[in-house]
Amino acid sequence: MPIRTCAQCGHAMPKNASAKRKYCSDNCRKLASKHRHSPQHQTSPTTPPANEPSPQQSTAPATYRDMLEVSRTALTRNLEDPHCPATAVAGLSKQLLAVGKELLEMDREKEPDPILDDPEEMADGIEDDPFDAETI
């Protein structure tokens, strides 16, 4: 399990820290709060120029399959993130499995899987020795 670090100072988090905790101590939490509220760290929200497409328009999935692949990528990225809380892993894994099954079903509709559809064909040319109980 990767070691979680403080968002302010970078030191390791205490062993008894909850999954939601971001800072190693009250001092780091207070410093981060001061930095958030100081005027030099505030930025104004920028909007893209009118002639450029917004990110939502350019990345919109064209088909249902594309949307599933985007979901699978996002779920995988979130599961691999070291800052992913332990309480979210089960739910993310469940969603990832559901998306994966749906993608497999879509692929199976296109072309059948020779291993799943005909296991006898896969075993052609492989002979199995008969069981002999006395050898044990």
- 63 with 114, same domain: the answer is yes
CA 72 to CA 75: how far, in whole Å?
Answer: 5
- The CA–CA distances, whole Å, from 134 to 42, 72, 128, 131 equal 80, 51, 17, 9
- Report yes or no on 72 lying in a domain: yes
Sign, CA torsion 69/75/76/78: positive
- Report yes or no on 25 lying in a domain: yes
| Cβ-Cβ contacts under 8 Å for 76 (sequence gap 6 or more) | 96
- 64 with 23, same domain: the answer is no
Give tens-digit pLDDT for 40-97: 655 555 555 555 555 555 555 578 888 899 999 999 999 898 888 889 899 999 999 9
- Report yes or no on 51 lying in a domain: no
DSSP class of 85: -
Task: Report H helices in 18-63.
Answer: 26-37, 55-58
CA 133 to CA 56: how far, in whole Å?
Answer: 66
- Tell me the range of 50-54, 83-87, 107-111, 122-126 where mean pLDDT is highest: 83-87
pLDDT computed for residue 99 by the predictor: 93
CA 121 to CA 119: how far, in whole Å?
Answer: 5
- 103 with 71, same domain: the answer is yes
- Report yes or no on 126 lying in a domain: no
Structural domains counted in the chain:
2
Residue numbers of the domain that contains 94: 59-121
- Report yes or no on 85 lying in a domain: yes
Q: 86-110 vs 64-80: helix axis angle to the nearest 10?
A: 150
What global pTM score does this model have?
Answer: 0.40
- Report yes or no on 130 lying in a domain: no
Question: What residue type is 79 in one-letter code?
Answer: L
